Chain A
Amino acid sequence: MFRYFIISAVLAILTLLYFFNPEGSVFHLKCPFFVLTGGYYCPSCGIQRVIHNLLHFNFAEAFWYNPFVFIISPYFILLIITTWFDPKKKMSKLKNFCYNYKTIIVFLVVMAIWWIIRNVFPVFYIS
């Protein structure tokens, strides 16, 4: 039941992001961190445009909107599969890897580095 709810929610979001280009639309979801800090990016700023461009097969463009999302996506996909889509627990080793605190520390460190880089060296301009 829960799995179907997740799948339909994801499909709904993907459909919306396919038809509405966040670029130039007023009805995008603005990042709270970006607005409240007066213009600092959060680590996931740009993710709506990443998904929009991916759905339109503009891979290069999608990548440069937020490379961090691409780097962590294998981990994130594994995490979701081992948590919700592995009822017979065939992937328990992978799950232990995903939930190991060392893995999570690496994740947090990568996120912190990316967070600093994108704000200090604005190489990855979003607009």
Chain B
Amino acid sequence: MKIVKIGRSRLNDVVIDNPSVDEMHCYIIFDDNGKYSLINSSVNGTFVNGLNINREVALGENDIVRVGDVVLPWKSYFCNAPAPVPDPEEKPSNFLVWAILSAVFCCVPFSIPSIVNAAKVDFLWNNGRYDEAYSALSRAKTWFWVSFAIGIIFWILYFAGLFSEILLYDDSYYYDDFYY
């Protein structure tokens, strides 16, 4: 048995970002006998072949299912192939600028994995490897925050040390010749 939850919320198996679709709009169940059934849980209505269904209905292979304004390619949800294909135009916002900024202004060694992963996002996305693109993006973000945090912590400690040096030794503090 396989249950596919459909709606606008990220918690669903199939996320449809459309205002006419409810957070939790409906379910489609593929039972162990090989039969499909559709369960509506939205006040906006789920339509099978144009008819509004109230609760539960058996689905045939050729039935057309519409939620709100969106017609579902629902049979593809039950293939082994990754079912809901994201719109290729909705490329996730890339993190490259931030990765390179952190390389220039923070702690370089930790920015390099961020740049490498940000570089993969577009490549993977354009090849239809959407899941991998998303995970590369989140790795790019993680490494960015690591180098950002290290930079900030370093500078807080550095200035704390600098101030205590000035306070303790007054005018005898020194600084060497190298600056960032």
Q: Could you tell me which A residues sit within 8 Å of B by CB distance? A: 22-23, 25-26, 28-36, 39, 42-49, 69, 76, 79-80, 83-84, 96, 98-101, 104-105, 107-108, 111, 126-127
What range describes how many residues of B lie at the interface?
A: 20 to 34
Chain B residues positioned under 8 Å from A104 (CB to CB): 96, 115-116, 118-119
Q: Please, how many angstroms separate the alpha-carbon atoms of A44 and B108 in the complex?
A: 9
Interface-centre pick from B96, B116, B155 (highest chain A CB count, 10 A) = B96
Q: Is B169 on the interface with A (CB-CB < 8 A)?
A: no
The total of Cβ contacts below 8 Å across the A-B interface reads 90
The 7 closest A-B pairs by CB, nearest first: A31-B180, A127-B177, A104-B119, A32-B154, A42-B108, A101-B119, A28-B179
Q: Is B5 on the interface with A (CB-CB < 8 A)?
A: no
Shortest beta-carbon distance, B56 to chain A, in Å?
A: 45
Contact A23 B100 (CB under 8 A): no
Chain A residues positioned under 8 Å from B109 (CB to CB): 33
Given pairs A31-B180, A104-B116, A107-B100, 6 additional interface contacts (CB within 8 A): A22-B179, A29-B155, A43-B108, A44-B108, A84-B97, A111-B103
Q: Could you tell me which B residues sit within 8 Å of A by CB distance? A: 94, 96-97, 100, 103-109, 112, 115-116, 118-120, 122-123, 150-151, 154-155, 158, 162, 166, 173, 175, 177-180
Q: Please, how many angstroms separate the alpha-carbon atoms of A80 and B101 in the complex?
A: 10
Q: Please, how many angstroms separate the alpha-carbon atoms of A39 and B177 in the complex?
A: 11
Could you tell me the dominant secondary structure of chain A's interface residues? helix
Chain A residues positioned under 8 Å from B104 (CB to CB): 44, 47, 69
